[in-house]
Amino acid sequence: MLLVKQELLVALAAELVKLSPGDGVRAAFESPKVASHGDLACTAAMQLAKPLALNPRHVAERLRTGLLETPAFRNWVEAIDIAGPGFINIKLKPQAKQQVVHEVLAAGEAFGTQPSNGQRVLVEFVSANPTGPLHVGHGRQAALGDAICNLYATQGWNVWREFYYNDAGVQIATLATSTQLRARGLKPGDAGWPEAAYNGDYIAEIAADFLAQKTVRSDDREFTASGDVNDLDSIRQFAVAYLRHEQDLDLQAFSVRFDNYYLESSLYTSGKVDATVKRLQQAGKTYEQDGALWLKSTDYGDDKDRVMRKSDGSYTYFVPDVAYHIAKWERGFGKVVNIQGTDHHGTIARVRAGLQAVDVGIPPGYPDYVLHTMVRVTRGGEEVKISKRAGSYVTLRDLVEWTSKDAVRFFLLSRKPDTEYIFDIDLALAQNNDNPVYYVQYAHARICSVLSAWGGDAASLAGVDLTPLQSPQAMNLMLLLARYPQMLTAAAQDFAPHDVTFYLRELAASYHSYYDAERILVDDEAVKKARLALVAATARVLHNGLQVLGVNAPQKM
């Protein structure tokens, strides 16, 4: 149906030029808001009414007459109706809808993907400082970031996944002193235990391994403990490496990988922060006041100017962010997406202001931001607030162990990022239609069971006659399959992996309805092969969509 739609678009574009040369109305189809109105809709008549100085319904009539005379519309269109002020509703012939089955089976895993566009995109996500286990908020960010990367890959982008963290800030210093106190035998609640210290059991684990002079390895660092309780720098480096290793284990269990780890400290040691400040000063975008250095961020839409360097000589946290994004630009990433919590909302205007002020060619609106809210966890109708290991919050590892990687990913992606989400553990464990990931995975497994019971060669379905696919349920299923590529494109543009979850649930529901309406393994060989081809194509699209989300498509359940 994708080729059918392309032929129809070409015919529509030609007719629009005939009607009104030079007006530049784009040939496009929409999905009718009411399914009974047709399979495709077009609003071009209403757009042309004003330049042609004609009633839009009159324009629609002229356009309808022209379209019905084209070979493409004669081949693939059953009827064209005009509704309301000039909507053109198009009803396709069954054979037009059936084409998508052949297209899916021929393309396989590539169905829905676009060829390489030669462009690079850097997606930065998780970026958790190594001060404790990853919490469920990091889990939401990991699921979002990875799915957005996968969506961009389907659209032909060369995707780079990056993890940015600080290994030398105040939080890291607190981590080191907390570990040192544990190594000396102190624990939370003892006299002398600081209020700001980290209290989770993981601190005791780090201290014990440090005293045992163990070596820890993460994806981006390795360190051997000195075992000397007075060696605070060794404790700091060991604790950072230990927790980075723990983060790696969590992310590996969550099937998330990164191409690069970028240290905030490197921005200082390499001189990038100082160089950025110097650039801003030379551009005349800063001023001194009250012993501090300020950025004229109001020149770029911020609600007030921002302090860059405090009176004590230290930089505020957005300055290294500006330096980091200049580095991203200089590394050749013209498209950058940051996945962060909503608490970073105030950072956006000042970082973008700094990037515009340095005047190195970075476009306005760079980088893109996707902000997400935190996640609440419930079990048995009550909120779960703490983890024994972390001490004050539920960890990503807890959530995966209590449910599954697939459930956590699908659930955390099932709402818009900026929508508060309550993760219901009981629902995630339920094996019924109320559990969305189970519902979608079961549809895939159900199809695999049918194909297995048939026992034939799936490759033989590629060229079968699809004429028997005439029922309303079959038609609805094929229209949904045809929507998949367009849905992926829109989801990538809007940073909306939740659109994929909505689509998969709708596709699963359509398949279950089809399965209930028509028996697949019938005696009539032609009918059986056509129905098997349809369900095999459905399984392929379910598989492809789940893969975008990082969720498995099981063959048995």
The topology (CATH level 3) of 432-549 is Isoleucyl-tRNA Synthetase; Domain 1 (1.10.730)
Quick count: other Cβ atoms within 10 Å of Cβ 345?
Answer: 12
Q: What is the pLDDT averaged over residues 477-498?
A: 97
Domain regions of the chain by residue span: 2-92, 432-549
| Mean pLDDT across the chain | 95
Helix, strand, or coil (residue 197): coil
Q: Residue 36: its pLDDT value, please? A: 80
Predicted confidence at residue 22, as pLDDT, reads 77
- In three-state secondary structure terms, 56 is helix
Percent of the chain whose pLDDT exceeds 70: 99
| DSSP-based three-state secondary structure for 215 | strand
- pLDDT at position 390 is 62
Is the CB of residue 489 less than 8 Å from the CB of residue 155?
yes
pLDDT of residue 388: 59
The residues, ordered by sequence, that sit 6+ positions from 513 with a Cβ below 8 Å of its Cβ are 473, 476
Residues 491 and 502: beta-carbon distance below 8 Å: no
Provide the pLDDT for residue 194. Answer: 95
pLDDT above 70: residue 363: yes
Which pLDDT value is given to residue 409? 98
pLDDT tens-place string over residues 191-222: 999 999 999 899 999 999 999 999 999 999 99
Task: Report DSSP letters for 403-430, one per residue.
Answer: S-HHHHHHHHTSS-TTS-EEEEHHHHH-
Q: What is the pLDDT of residue 33?
A: 79
Domain 2-92 fold: Gyrase A; domain 2 (3.30.1360)
Say what the pLDDT of residue 265 is.
94
**What is the torsional sign of CA 278, 284, 290, 294?**
negative
Phi, psi of 317 (to 5 degrees): -70, -20
Q: What is the pLDDT of residues 338-355, one digit of tens each?
A: 999 999 898 999 999 999
pLDDT at 15 over 80: yes
Cβ atoms 394, 485 nearer than 8 A: no
Residue-level pLDDT at 154? 98
Q: How far is CA 490 from the centre of its chain?
A: 12
3-state secondary structure of 30: strand
What is the pLDDT, as a whole number, of residue 392? Answer: 73
Query: Percentage of the chain surpassing pLDDT 90?
Result: 88
pLDDT in tens, 519-541: 999 999 999 999 999 999 999 99
Q: Residue 389 pLDDT > 90, yes or no?
A: no
Q: Over 80: is that where the pLDDT of 89 sits? A: yes
Residues 189 and 191: their CA atoms lie apart, in Å, by: 7
**Residue range 27-40: mean pLDDT, rounded:** 86
DSSP helix/strand/coil, 100: helix
> What CA–CA distance (Å, rounded) separates 121 from 528?
45
Instruction: Give the residue among 40, 33, 36 at the shortest CA–CA distance from 8.
Output: 40
Average pLDDT of 414-426? Answer: 96
Residue 20: per-residue pLDDT: 83
